[in-house]
A = this chain, B = another copy of it.
Amino acid sequence: MDRIRATYRITASESESRARAEALAAEQSVEMPVAAIGDERVLRETVATVEAIRPHADYFDVTLGIAAATTGAEASQLANMLFGNCSLQPEVELIDVEFPGGYEKAFPGPRFGIEGIRAATGARGRALTCTALKPQGSTVEHLAKLARTFALAGIDVIKDDHGIADQPPHPFASRVPAVQEAIDAANRETGGRTLYAPTFSGGAAALASQAKTVRDHGVKMALVAPMLVGLPAFVDLRHALDVPVMAHPAFAGSVRIAAPVLLGTLFRLLGADATIFPNHGGRFSFSRETCLAIAKSARSPWDGVKPVLPVPAGGMTVERVGEMLSGYGPDTMLLIGGGLLSAKERLLDRSREFVGAVRGSA
């Protein structure tokens, strides 16, 4: 029987570890006292198993075997089985997940992955560059002008700020064609292939309408925060789009699922081609070790699931490009947003410095 091996870190005394492990196995499967279950088949096939307990100083790690069939081959139920009820137990953190071979077939996975994004941008043999249109509330004209400047500088991917959704100052249906047109014009001037990744948001009808706008206007990438739209909606969107999808970590940081598992493994399984995460040393407190582990989850070999681009971001500057590339290597996309915009009237120059620093490091 196929089992998903899910490892949880439980902050409790070691003397409780066996009882806590068995309680967690019940909580994350049948959610009732196992002793009250009379059906032998349920006991054998549905109740999660305790595969291992590893004690540490102030916590212990428990590996459960969760029956793959209980996840119903569907994103919301997978999240439920991995971390539904135990999300309500603050002493429990999900730190690792291993899927049985073949499990990935139930989910779309990345359509493009690193190679697909390299093919779309033409960026070969080097890391990629990314920036963001900001701030929210700007006019569409301003955003299009920024996009033109970034594209002239040769940045590979220009994404919307993830807060630029579908609000009155910049409705998706008018902003996206205008920005794409500005980038197309700049690409014609430079011979470059800068991509635009607008922010998707909202319910099923809104996402479908936004996907249509993207198709109609030749937009070649998409940005979406899976935890904001919901994991099943993210899967639906991955199926609906035929361009690379970049996942944004908004609303995902507070979940007590280790970032390499959520932003790396799970977003990748569900269809992200690139995954943004807060780099160490910026406005967020992820450690260098966590960031490298996210990059590893994004890129590690996984039968049937393409490797995807790690995208470190958040308070980054052009001065850090060398250090970031030496840490992450070339199969990475560096995202600098505010660090470019702070240059104001020197925006084109600063953007060119960014592009030059990344290309020079190749």
Task: Please report A residues at the B interface, Cβ cutoff 8 Å.
Answer: 23, 27, 29-33, 35-39, 41-42, 45-47, 67, 69-72, 74-77, 79-81, 83-85, 87-91, 134-139, 142, 161-163, 165-169, 201-206, 225, 228-233, 235-236, 249-257, 278, 283-286, 314, 337-338, 341-342, 344
Contact = CB atoms under 8 A, between A and B. Distances in A.
Contact of A342 (B36, B67, B71, B167): B36
A254 B255 contact: yes
Nearest to A45: B137
Given A45-B137, A137-B45, A74 B251 contact: no
Nearest to A134: B32
A340 to B, nearest CB: 10
A353 to B, nearest CB: 16
Contacts of A31: 134-136, 161-163, 337-338
A293 to B, nearest CB: 16
Nearest to A239: B203
Tallying the copies of this chain within the complex gives 2
A136 B165 CA distance: 39
Nearest to A73: B167
Nearest to A83: B251
10 contacts: A27-B283, A72-B165, A74-B165, A74-B166, A74-B201, A80-B162, A88-B252, A90-B253, A203-B235, A204-B232
3 smallest A-B Cβ distances: which pairs?
A: A230-B230, A46-B137, A88-B253
Nearest to A286: B88
A304 to B, nearest CB: 21
Contacts of A232: 201-204, 206, 229-230, 233
Given A204-B204, A341-B33, A87 B254 contact: yes
Contacts of A167: 69-72, 77
Contacts of A90: 253-254, 285
Given A27-B283, A42-B135, A249 B88 contact: yes
Q: Which of A45, A250, A278, A341 has the most CB atoms of chain B within a 10 A radius of its CB? A: A250
Contacts of A169: 46
A74 B337 CA distance: 25
B79 A42 contact: no
A255 B90 CA distance: 10
A170 to B, nearest CB: 10
Contacts of A201: 72, 74, 76-77, 80, 232
A105 to B, nearest CB: 16
Contacts of A257: 254
Given A42-B137, A80-B163, 5 more contacts: A31-B161, A32-B342, A39-B137, A39-B138, A72-B167
A80 B338 contact: no
A89 B285 contact: yes
Contacts of A137: 30, 39, 41-42, 45-47, 67, 70
Q: By CB atoms of chain B within 10 A, which of A41, A76, A167 has the most? A: A76
B87 A136 contact: no
A137 B236 CA distance: 27
A349 B232 CA distance: 41
Contact of A228 (B76, B138, B314): B76
Contacts of A72: 165-168, 201-202
